[in-house]
Amino acid sequence: MTYVVRFTARAERDLRHLYQEVDGVNSAAARKWYQGLKKKILSLDKNPNRCPVTPENGELRHLLCGHSRNIYRVIYRVIGMQVEVLHIRHGSRKRFS
């Protein structure tokens, strides 16, 4: 089964901000990293329930992307056959509300 992955306006804004933050326009390495992040998020179309639920809310899940200090949390929920990406944030930030 394939799920539809949809980004909320906030998640789209988070992605744009990350792209600007890593200077994806001027750096091939940063652009490659960004494209890898987006590819991992879109891979949720295969098995979105593989990721754990968030400690903040049992109805949400999170995909962790990155290494060491550069881990990003992709917060999402599964509704029927749809994955709704809600927020993308750096892993070191305080818990979301």
- pLDDT above 90 as % of the chain: 56
Q: Give the closest residue to 30 by CA, choosing from 20, 22, 21.
A: 22
Q: CB of 34 within 8 A of CB of 18?
A: yes
Q: Would you list the domain boundaries of the chain?
A: 4-90
Topology of domain 4-90, CATH: YaeB-like fold (3.30.2310)
Label residue 47 exposed, middle or buried (CB < 10 Å: 0-12, 13-18, 19+).
Answer: exposed
- Going by pLDDT thresholds of 50, 70 and 90, the confidence category of residue 97 is low
Asked whether the predicted pLDDT for residue 53 surpasses 80, the reply is: yes
Mean pLDDT of the chain: 88
- Of the two residues 97 and 87, the one the predictor is more confident about is 87
User: Tokens representing 50?
Assistant: 């593989």
Asked whether the predicted pLDDT for residue 19 surpasses 70, the reply is: yes
